[in-house]
Amino acid sequence: MTKLIDYSKKEEISQQKKRELFEKLCDVLPSKNVSDEEIDKIAYSKDYCLITLRWILEGVTPATPDFIVWPENTEQVSGVVKLANIEEIPVIPFGEGSGVVGGAIPTRGGIIIDIKKMDKILEINDKNLEVRVQPGINLMNLERMLNKEGYTMGHSPQSIYCSALGGNISTRAAGQFSTKYGKIDDMVISLECVLPTGEIIRSKNVPKSSTGPSIERLFIGAEGTLGIITEATMKIWPYPEKKTLMSYAFENLEDGLEVIRKIMRKMIFPAVIRLYDEIETSRHFYQTPEAKKRCMLILVMEGDEDLVDLEEKVSKKICEDYRGIACREEPVNHWFETRFNVKEASDFAPLDIIFDTIEVSVNWDKSLNLCNSMISAMKAVNGVLFASVHASHFYPQGVCFYFTFGGAAPGGVKPEEFYMSVWNAAMKSCIDAGGSISHHHGIGIIRSQWLKEELGKEGFDALKRIKGSIDPKNIMNPGKMGM
């Protein structure tokens, strides 16, 4: 039904073979942790990718797994993968299915390995500031347990209530406090992973080593195509002593971006920095009169009291230098209250209106051009009603732009075709303007066809060779990342 899935490589398993496999899986795991029930297959045929929402509305399930298993420990994960390797059936690791680009969709059938029973905090080490944890833990549960003990991991994606640590590491996720605490990739100290052969590898828990390429880093952002993360040691921090909330409205996006760039050059890393264009400012901050027809910047500094006070003082001066109008704490409180609200996509989809987001990254010197080019490219697609942007993750070198577009397929065009034409216009203009096609959502099936252009032919071929040598039978999440 969809061009996003290549059925030519899917191998059907006979009923007889399925029965045998079911029994073999029950030799590895308790039988209550193995399912081939239709209801489970439907539940695991999708993630949060907007396309899958359309499938549900249309009553179709174009990609279902053959089995779902819920292992309770690394040995069981290894046992299932060993079996899959011998039988040459796909294995798809599954966190909480909140991925938005189709990474966890079983496009070639096979075994979904849902990791959510592996959800324990194994050790908190105060001296080393680290937590050793299983990857199936829900992120909000992890953060709450850390907060209770006086720590934070500083990773708070909008999906904190509905995503797992392993999924976040596998997509290179970024949380709302990323400018201070880093993205998930910055927080990983060491990993335990199950390879496609079922072998288990563990990296050393040390702050840094100079012992050749870091094998474990291959698994960060691999979207389950190279192996399964079964344990992680992550950085943690003492819970912040003080938080300062600030907001300023700027005449245009360019001034707001310059302010942020100047703040970053001072080596000030506010936990939250968010800058909204005029459209998004009017959508989110309509109750702030000073922000009318302007671009809202919100800042949250947190940590040691003296340091926070100093960061506030320096940042305030930079905002004033660019004629920012102070809007005080209220807009930031409003953001804190509403930051997990996400219902537009599911509200609009039944009305045949498509509403989705696309995040990319770019260096400062190309940032404004990329932003304008991508907005124009999306708006140029017939049926697009609006395209807007905010920026929410920052580096001394550049920025992540997060675009939102909305529209409806024109007469005679299928919603999926319309949807993909907006995505493709956005991806092409991003590459042309010198950006990276994804900052933190990953590749999945939606961006698959663009990965080669992103990495260059030689880069993509090298990645394919790495995949081919680690997973010669291509059992690990096949059909993803263009593999």
Ligand X SMILES: Cc1cc2nc3c(=O)[nH]c(=O)nc-3n(C[C@H](O)[C@H](O)[C@H](O)COP(=O)(O)OP(=O)(O)OC[C@H]3O[C@@H](n4cnc5c(N)ncnc54)[C@H](O)[C@@H]3O)c2cc1C
Per CB under 6 A, the list member of 158, 214, 421, 449 interacting with ligand X is: 158
State the binding string over 15-54 for ligand X (x if CB under 6 A, else -).
Answer: --------------------------------xx------
Cα–Cα distance, 218 to 198 (Å, whole number): 17
Applying CB under 6 A, does 450 fall inside the site for ligand X? no
Per CB under 6 A, the list member of 68, 81, 96, 189 interacting with ligand X is: 96
Tell me how far, at minimum, the Cβ of 79 lies from ligand X, in Å.
Answer: 16
Tell me how far, at minimum, the Cβ of 95 lies from ligand X, in Å.
Answer: 2
The number of residues that bind ligand X (CB under 6 A) is 35
Per CB under 6 A, the list member of 34, 63, 228, 249 interacting with ligand X is: 228
Per CB under 6 A, the list member of 81, 188, 220, 229 interacting with ligand X is: 229
- Residue 435 near residue 360 (C-beta atoms within 8 A): yes
Beta carbon nearer to ligand X, 327 or 399: 399
Decide: helix, strand or coil at residue 359. Answer: strand
Applying CB under 6 A, does 173 fall inside the site for ligand X? yes
- Residue 407 near residue 381 (C-beta atoms within 8 A): yes
State the binding string over 103-142 for ligand X (x if CB under 6 A, else -).
Answer: xx----------x-------------------x-------
**Residues between 336 and 395 that touch ligand X (CB under 6 A):** 342
| CB atoms near residue 262 (< 10 Å) | 17
Exposure class string for 288-315: b at 16+ Cβ within 10 A, else e: bebbeebbbbbbbbbbeeeebeebbeeb
Per CB under 6 A, the list member of 44, 67, 94, 364 interacting with ligand X is: 94
Applying CB under 6 A, does 179 fall inside the site for ligand X? no
Of 110, 101, 102, 39, the C-alpha closest to 69 is: 110
Helix (H) or strand (E) holding 272: strand 272-276
Beta carbon nearer to ligand X, 248 or 394: 394
Tell me how far, at minimum, the Cβ of 400 lies from ligand X, in Å.
Answer: 10
Applying CB under 6 A, does 303 fall inside the site for ligand X? no
Cα–Cα distance, 311 to 98 (Å, whole number): 35
Beta carbon nearer to ligand X, 191 or 430: 191
Exposure class string for 191-217: b at 16+ Cβ within 10 A, else e: bbbbbbbbebeebeeeeeeeeeebebe
Per CB under 6 A, the list member of 106, 224, 324, 482 interacting with ligand X is: 224
Cα Rg of the chain (Å, integer)? 23
DSSP E strands in 70-142: the ranges are 91-94, 111-114, 121-125, 130-133
Of 285, 297, 300, the C-alpha closest to 254 is: 297
Cα–Cα distance, 459 to 212 (Å, whole number): 20
Residues in contact with ligand X by the rule CB under 6 A: 47-48, 92-100, 103-104, 115, 135, 157-159, 163-164, 166-168, 170-171, 173-174, 223-224, 228-229, 342, 440-441, 477
